[in-house]
Amino acid sequence: MSADEVGVIASLSADRWHPVADVAESRALPIATIHSMVDRQLVCSDGDDPAATRLREAEARLESIGWHPHAAVYHALSGWQGVSGEEGSRCHAAIAQVERLQRHASSHGRLPSHFHRRDDALDRVRLPPEPFDDDFARVLRNRRTTRHFRKGVPLPLAHFTRLLHGTFGAMGTETLAPGMVAIRRTSPSGGGLHPIEAYPLVMDVEGLQPGFYHYEPATHMLALLESIPSNPARELAATLLIGQTYFAQASALVFHVARIDRHHWKYRRHPKAYKAVLLDSGHLSQTFHLLAAERALGAFYTAAINDVDVSRRLHLDPLREAVIAANGVGVIDHRQNELHLNPEPYAPRPDALAC
Ligand SMILES: Cc1cc2nc3c(=O)[nH]c(=O)nc-3n(C[C@H](O)[C@H](O)[C@H](O)COP(=O)(O)O)c2cc1C
């Protein structure tokens, strides 16, 4: 885009038509410049040529679904297609990891401190120590991101169905007004709308044909969308997860897909609505993680996905259904550990300062 074209866009109203001749004259530009901007879909026009019609219709759909313009731009610009990272192929030995981090620090300076302390605090109150070793606490403590899975050991179906039901299943419904029903899940949801749907990519789960499914919480059923043999399903998983091959050894992925039209129906062009959708996915992921930890299964969550490719593969409407992130689950391979965070136990110390 030229500086002149940026000037044209800045001079236009978002909700009023301007005659092309007036725009050209006010910016001292030839009319052909404005027409070229229409052809390149930089501005909307009421003309009936295909490019103008497509753009106008897309704008109208964005508007009718309730997208906030900034969120729509962010969502479109942060979508990935065909991205392949180096995570799967690089050396994961501890020493290599330390060297990578040190190189990073030499370019970008020190990592800000791990514990944060406000020097302007008015006072400090010492809290009583509270035991954190009951069953529930143990599940929380045992939650971790798993990146090593047992090959050739299928996930028992009962575990998988518990994870799907416990995370994405409906624990109840409530009719808010005639025809308007909220579902209740084990995780909270902004506005009580639960816009996120689960799309499992099954690679190796006992009794399930490998392939892409949609989980239907109303009936606790899996709707098969595409049958894909186990090995190609793993290759697909690695590709959709931008080459994170360690995650492709899991038994199943579960993609989180937000029904933007349901969520934004209530929060129309709301500046916080998109953020709330992302936060919903994080809550569901934590529940998924904890259910896996309770059964000593390995789980993960990743936002580094080729979301545009997932959307196409699932034939989603990209304006109404936004692919957000993916969880995964499988049987842990305890013999390998190098890809894991291995923290030392820690309890608050009276003398601890931010460092
Ligand atoms: C939003 C989000 C995105 C993440 N994306 C990735 C990812 O792309 N690849 C990966 O290996 N781990 C990913 N993780 C896992 C984190 O690296 C992991 O949670 C962190 O290292 C702490 O380890 P822990 O989960 O075992 O406590 C992600 C976690 C979150 C919450």
Give yes or no: residues 48 and 194 share one domain: no
Give yes or no: residues 30 and 167 share one domain: no
Taking the centre of ligand 1 as the mean of its atom positions, its distance from the CA of residue 248, in whole angstroms, is 15
Whether 303 is in the pocket of ligand 1, judged by its Cβ within 6 Å, is: yes
The reply to whether 41 falls in a domain is yes
At residue 235, the pLDDT reads 98
Whether 320 is in the pocket of ligand 1, judged by its Cβ within 6 Å, is: no
Give yes or no: residues 171 and 289 share one domain: yes
List, as one string, the DSSP characters of 295-341.
Answer: TT-EEEEE--S-HHHHHHHTT--TTTEEEEEEEEEE-B-TT--TTS-
Q: What is the pLDDT of residues 154-207, one digit of tens each?
A: 999 999 999 999 999 999 999 999 999 999 999 999 999 999 999 999 999 999
The reply to whether 91 falls in a domain is no
Mean pLDDT, rounded, of the chain: 94
Task: Supply 339's token pair.
Answer: 């890809």
| Atom 14 in ligand 1: residue holding the nearest Cα | 302
Choosing from 86, 145, 244 the residue with most ligand 1 atoms within 8 A of its CB, the one to mutate for a pocket test is 145
Output the domain CATH number for residue 283.
3.40.109.10
Give yes or no: residues 165 and 50 share one domain: no
The reply to whether 309 falls in a domain is yes
Give yes or no: residues 61 and 141 share one domain: no
**Which of 14, 48, 65 is at the close of a domain?**
65
The reply to whether 344 falls in a domain is no
Give yes or no: residues 177 and 319 share one domain: yes
Instruction: Name which of 293, 258, 295 is nearest 279 in CA terms.
Output: 258
Q: Which residues pair with 252 in a beta bridge?
A: 202, 329
Helix (H, G, I), strand (E, B) or coil at 238: helix
At residue 91, the pLDDT reads 85
**Which of 39, 65, 91 is at the close of a domain?**
65
The domain of 54 spans: 3-65
Residue numbers in the chain where pLDDT is lower than 70: 353-355
| Atom 1 in ligand 1: residue holding the nearest Cα | 303
Give yes or no: residues 142 and 256 share one domain: yes
Taking the centre of ligand 1 as the mean of its atom positions, its distance from the CA of residue 35, in whole angstroms, is 47
DSSP assignment letter at 203: S
Give yes or no: residues 149 and 288 share one domain: yes
Report the number of distinct structural domains present in the chain: 2
Whether 83 is in the pocket of ligand 1, judged by its Cβ within 6 Å, is: no
**Which ligand 1 atom is nearest residue 289's CA?**
25
**Which of 65, 92, 116 is at the close of a domain?**
65
Q: Is 57 exposed, middle or buried (0-12, 13-18, 19+ CB in 10 A)?
A: exposed
At residue 41, the pLDDT reads 87
Which residues of 108-179 form beta strands (DSSP E)? 172-177
